[in-house]
Structure 1
Amino acid sequence: MITDRQDDHVRPSAAGEHAVAGVPMRWVGPLRISGNTATCETQVPLATYETPLWPSVGRGAKLSTLTENGIVATLVDERMTRSVLVEAADASTAYMAALQVDARFAELREVVRGCSRFAELVGFRHEIVANLLYLRFEFTTGDASGHNMATLAADALLRHIIATIPGTSYGSISGNYCTDKKATAVNGILGRGKNVVTELLVPAAVVADRLHTTAAKIAELNVRKNMLGTLLAGGIRSANAHYANMLLAFYLATGQDAANIVEGSQGVTVAEDRDGDLYFSCTLPNLIVGTVGNGKGLGFVETNLARLGCRDEREPGANARRLAVIAAATVLCGELSLLAAQTNPGELMRAHVNLERNNETKKIGV
């Protein structure tokens, strides 16, 4: 159970007995969003033990309400992936099999439609290593995040390929070329889940008054920290400060598979000084979220999704797209707030000490 009370405790259970982990949750905002998927003002639920995240995201959210369009969120693409491994007699046979998959794409789409009402095959990629053929299938999956749906469809495709393409045999239902819950170049390049770009233009006066810094300082720090620092660290298709913090808190509060923050944390932050105004953008190519499926039947999840406007009767997939856009906007709020704090010596540590230590003091009654 995720609760918005910090003093709630769950009694320990006997070994093997079902238990529930309590994670503190608060609603933050509101934040203002516009774009090609959703136009709204909404608070967002964040479940986290890192309590300074709430006011930090809240500060970024406040900035969004001080501009006419708020955070402009553009949903660029959406596709859930599952890769299968096909063993062939030799490399030549593997190559011919890949050509057959391409030539019979329409046939394979019908195979998927025969095993799922909502999954739709929209593309595939392949790699050949020795006599092994790796096929990365791409699906749209309606309002579901699509893990199980994509695996079910991939399983049907794999059986069909082996049965109809000579010289091929079963390798594995998962070939690790998807790639699920791992930070990889293929996901950063091709995307997995929803690909959302968020943008916010903050007037110079607001930057100074609310963030106590300048657009030039934030832009410079973004290059030196997020771009150069990540390059030196060997980051994979990623240049950001802490996307994972906001995503984990948002995922836990909305019933998502939290391990998907691994690929979700891949993304690029851009900051520009535009004559004193701050242009700030976060690109997230791997947002894996859904509004139906496993975890969504829990009471607090149902309440949170309804409050976010993700329980409306819309065309299939629209609620999940709305949720992805809200998640991406939340990431921007926290990313901007942190970078602004880091332009000022000591600000980040003071905030953590004041918020976390004071909270611990209250708990122990000091």
Structure 2
Amino acid sequence: MTDNHATAGVPMRWVGPVRISGNVATTETTVPLATYESPLWPSVGRGAKVSRQAEHGIVATLVDERMTRSVLVEANDAATALAAARHIETHLEELQAIVRGCSRYAQLVGVRHEINANLLFVRFEFTTGDASGHNMATLASDLLLEHLLRTVPGISYGSISANYCTDKKASAVNGILGRGKNVVTELLVPHKTVTGVLHTTAAKIVQLNIRKNMLGTLLAGGVRSANAHFANMLLGFYLATGQDAANIVEGSQGTVTAEERDGDLYFACTLPNLIVGTVGNGKGLAFVDTNLARLGCRIDREPGDNARRLAVIAAATVLCGELSLLAAQTNPGELMHAHVHLERHTTTGKDGA
């Protein structure tokens, strides 16, 4: 099996291995990244090396999971919209039964709403097994909407999708409520690794995270984000594993926390919107199937467990790249030197990894 090749026309390499533990998986695995940004491979590789020098590796905690679809109904007035919302709240079990009747794997786990004038925005939240769940959630929501229009007086059809989901758009609501898998990754980096592998100090990374990720993003008007480049790792990982790449829009919303602990570095990434699946559209492609199998996500497990494993591997990959980049940016000239050196070698046919 070759490690380095083109994935659907995009160069792909396996990097790592990354050491991971937590409430979903304990593993040490290489990870595939499909990207034109060749310095990403060695950068994530450096973060992976750091993970192997930490006692527990990257501790990945799956906090929550839910796929959402919002629908829009028009009411006669705000009072009628509120009455409809209250009806939905008191008939949750009935709605859950409708969802169970249309899918073996979808389960309705929550309903939220927002009223604006006479418009009622209803956000349905589902678990969807090993699928990322876009289509599953839409199918279930379509049936739920049909049922509501038939049984709740004073409302009429607005839209099957109302942008309160929120799908493939930056929003505050997904950062607050979550969409997809919500994963927190943590790494305690020993002092000698910070200096020896990352060539910096914990204090410098902590300061840069505050000034760049937090204050810089605040000044720029970022939405529910405080990170350097989550999107880079997510896109490479999503392309290599057959995900809907547009979901990096909400996926890249997340925060970085860095603390100095007696010279060691505590480093954490919170990703509330990881939308990944191991079955469904795109997962039958030969290179995707091979990659998912190599990641251990093609094993016969309980429904949903393979997707959860994929999510924590994706989140750990993000931490590797985020930590490596922030470390590089604490040193004048290091980032640009790496890009020039590696990208020139790549364009001349030499191995930039």
Q: Which TM bucket (shorter chain)?
A: over 0.9
Aligned partners of 2:3 and 2:14 also within 8 Å: no
Is it true that 1:339 corresponds to 2:326 in the alignment? yes
Shift of 1:3: 8.8
- Of residues 295, 302, 306, the one that matches 1:308 is 295
Deviation sequence 1:199-245 (CA, Å, 0-9, x none): 00001111000011000000000000000000000000110000000
1:204-353 matched pairs, under 5 angstroms? 204-353=191-340
Aligned partners of 2:259 and 2:266 also within 8 Å: yes
Corresponding residue number in structure 2 for 1:4: 4
Corresponding residue number in structure 2 for 1:161: 148
1:140-155 matched pairs, under 5 angstroms? 140-155=127-142
Give, in whole Å, the separation in 2 of the partners of 1:256 and 1:59: 25
Give, in whole Å, the separation in 1 of the partners of 2:3 and 2:230: 23
Aligned partners of 1:76 and 1:196 also within 8 Å: yes
Q: Give the AA of the match of 1:240.
A: N
Tell me how large the CA RMSD over aligned residues is: 1.2
Runs of 4+ in 1 over 2 A off after TM superposition: 2-6
Corresponding residue number in structure 2 for 1:133: 120
Q: Which runs of 5+ in 1 are unaligned?
A: 9-20
Is it true that 1:104 corresponds to 2:91 in the alignment? yes
Corresponding residue number in structure 2 for 1:12: none
Is it true that 1:46 corresponds to 2:33 in the alignment? yes
Corresponding residue number in structure 2 for 1:14: none
Give, in whole Å, the separation in 2 of the partners of 1:61 and 1:362: 25
Q: Give the AA of the match of 1:334.
A: G
Q: Indicate the SS of the match to 2:348.
A: helix
Shift of 1:362: 3.0
1:164-183 matched pairs, under 5 angstroms? 164-183=151-170
Report the TM-score, using the length of structure 1 for normalisation: 0.94
Q: Indicate the SS of the match to 2:97.
A: helix
Is it true that 1:78 corresponds to 2:65 in the alignment? yes
Aligned length: 349
Aligned partners of 1:3 and 1:23 also within 8 Å: no
Shift of 1:275: 1.2
Deviation sequence 1:172-213 (CA, Å, 0-9, x none): 000000000001000000000000000000011110000110
Shift of 1:328: 0.1
Q: Percent identity?
A: 79
Aligned partners of 1:3 and 1:24 also within 8 Å: no
Aligned partners of 2:184 and 2:271 also within 8 Å: yes
Aligned partners of 2:73 and 2:121 also within 8 Å: yes
Q: Give the AA of the match of 1:163.
A: R
Give, in whole Å, the separation in 2 of the partners of 1:51 and 1:3: 15
Q: Which runs of 5+ in 2 are unaligned?
A: none
Give, in whole Å, the separation in 1 of the partners of 2:3 and 2:85: 50
Give, in whole Å, the separation in 1 of the partners of 2:27 and 2:348: 38
Report the TM-score, using the length of structure 2 for normalisation: 0.97
Is it true that 1:22 corresponds to 2:28 in the alignment? no
Shift of 1:360: 1.3
Give, in whole Å, the separation in 1 of the partners of 2:342 and 2:67: 39
Q: Indicate the SS of the match to 1:256.
A: coil
Q: Give the AA of the match of 1:232.
A: L
Q: Indicate the SS of the match to 1:114.
A: helix
1:52-91 matched pairs, under 5 angstroms? 52-91=39-78
Give, in whole Å, the separation in 2 of the partners of 1:5 and 1:318: 28
Q: Give the AA of the match of 1:86.
A: V
Is it true that 1:186 corresponds to 2:144 in the alignment? no
Q: Indicate the SS of the match to 2:126.
A: strand
Deviation sequence 1:104-123 (CA, Å, 0-9, x none): 00000001111111100000
Q: Indicate the SS of the match to 1:362.
A: coil
Give, in whole Å, the separation in 2 of the partners of 1:270 and 1:3: 33
Shift of 1:361: 2.6
Q: Indicate the SS of the match to 2:337.
A: helix
Q: Give the AA of the match of 1:300.
A: F
Q: Indicate the SS of the match to 1:106.
A: helix
Give, in whole Å, the separation in 2 of the partners of 1:162 and 1:359: 58
Is it true that 1:122 corresponds to 2:120 in the alignment? no
